[in-house]
Amino acid sequence: MNTPGRAALFDVDGTLVDTNYLHAVAWWEAFHRAGHRVAMTDVHHTIGMGSDRLLDRLLGEDRDRGGDEELSETHKAVYATWSDRLPVLNGAPELLRALAGRGWTVVLATSAQGGELAALRRAIGADDAIAAATSADDVDLSKPAPEPVERALEQAGTGPERALFVGDTVWDVEAAGRAGVACVALLSGGIGRAELEQAGALAVYRDPAALLAGLDDSPFARRERA
C-alpha cells in the first residue's frame, strides 16, 4: 500500500502576498461610504476571515443584512485598484519551489474568491510549484471554519497528520487546528507572535524568506525525518 505524500498547505493573503493592509483599507473605505464607523485596527484583526464572517464580527450578527452585498462589492472595487501591482512577500516563490523540490505537494487554501486568487497567483509567479488551490468559491464556510483546510487536504490527497499549514492570522491557526493540521505562522500579516502562539501555532517566523532560510530546522524538516 502506498503511503500518502506530504502536503504543504498555504494561506495566500498576508502569507505569500503582502495584501492584508490593502484589504483593511478597502474594507474601511467600504464601511465609510456606507456610513459605518469601524476602527481600522478592528478591521485588520478580521482579515483572513471570509466576508460573511468578517461582517458578522464587525457589524454584529443581528444587523440589517440588506447592505452586505454593497459593502462586499465596494471592498472588491477598492481592492481591485491594486490588482496589477500586488506585492509578493520576500522569499514566497522560492519557498514554494523549495518545498515542492523536497517532495511536498503545495496547495493554496485562501478566503479570496476566484478572480482575486488569479491575481494573487500571478503576483506570486510560482505556478510551477503549486499543485492545486482552493478559494472561497469552493467552500460553504470560510476560516476559522476548517472547511478550506479540509478541502485543501482532499486536493493534496493526504491526511492531516501528513500535512502542515502555513498562515499569518489567528483564523488560519484555528482553521488548521480544527482540521487536525499543525500550523506554522508568519508575522508578515501584522498579527503578533504572542497571539499566534496562543492560538496554537507550532512555530512562528517573520516571513516566507525567514522560513525558507530556516527550512532545514523547521517543522517541515522534522516531518521529513519522522
Q: Which of 62-66, 105-109, 161-165 has the lowest mean pLDDT?
A: 62-66
**What tens digit of pLDDT does each residue of 43-64 get?**
999 999 988 899 999 999 999 9
Distance CA 36, CA 63 (A): 12
Res. 111 pLDDT band, cuts 50 70 90: confident
- Mean local confidence (pLDDT), 15-20: 98
CATH number belonging to the domain at 20-80, selected among 1.10.150, 2.60.40, 1.10.10, 1.10.3470 = 1.10.150
Assigned C-alpha cell, 66: 440588506
In sequence order, what are the residues at sequence separation of 6 or more whose Cβ sits closer than 8 angstroms to the Cβ of residue 87?
A: 17, 18, 19, 123
Q: Is the pLDDT of residue 186 over 50?
A: yes
- Mean local confidence (pLDDT), 141-149: 93
Map grid coordinates 479570496 to a residue.
112
**pTM, whole model, 2 decimals?**
0.95
Q: In what order do the strands lie in the sheet containing 105-109?
A: 130-134, 105-109, 7-10, 163-167, 182-186, 203-205
Q: Report the candidate in 9, 209, 23 with the shortest Cα–Cα distance to residue 116.
A: 23
Q: State the DSSP H helix or E strand holding residue 100, giving kind and residue range, or none if neither.
A: helix 92-101
Q: Which of 90-94, 115-119, 205-209 has the lowest mean pLDDT?
A: 115-119
The CA–CA distances, whole Å, from 100 to 93, 96, 103, 129, 202 equal 11, 6, 5, 6, 21
Res. 1 pLDDT band, cuts 50 70 90: very low
Residues β-bridged to residue 107:
9, 132
Tell me what pLDDT residue 3 has: 56
Distance CA 167, CA 87 (A): 17
**What tens digit of pLDDT does each residue of 87-104 get?**
999 999 999 999 999 999
Q: Where are the domains of the chain?
A: 7-18+87-225, 20-80
- Mean local confidence (pLDDT), 129-133: 98
Tell me what pLDDT residue 115 has: 85
- Mean local confidence (pLDDT), 140-149: 93
Report yes or no: 15 and 167 within 8 Å, Cβ to Cβ.
Answer: yes
As assigned by CATH, the class of the 7-18+87-225 domain is alpha beta
Distance CA 16, CA 151 (A): 19
Task: Provide, rounded to the nearest whole percent, the portion of the chain with pLDDT above 90.
Answer: 91
Res. 136 pLDDT band, cuts 50 70 90: confident
Mean pLDDT, the chain, integer: 95
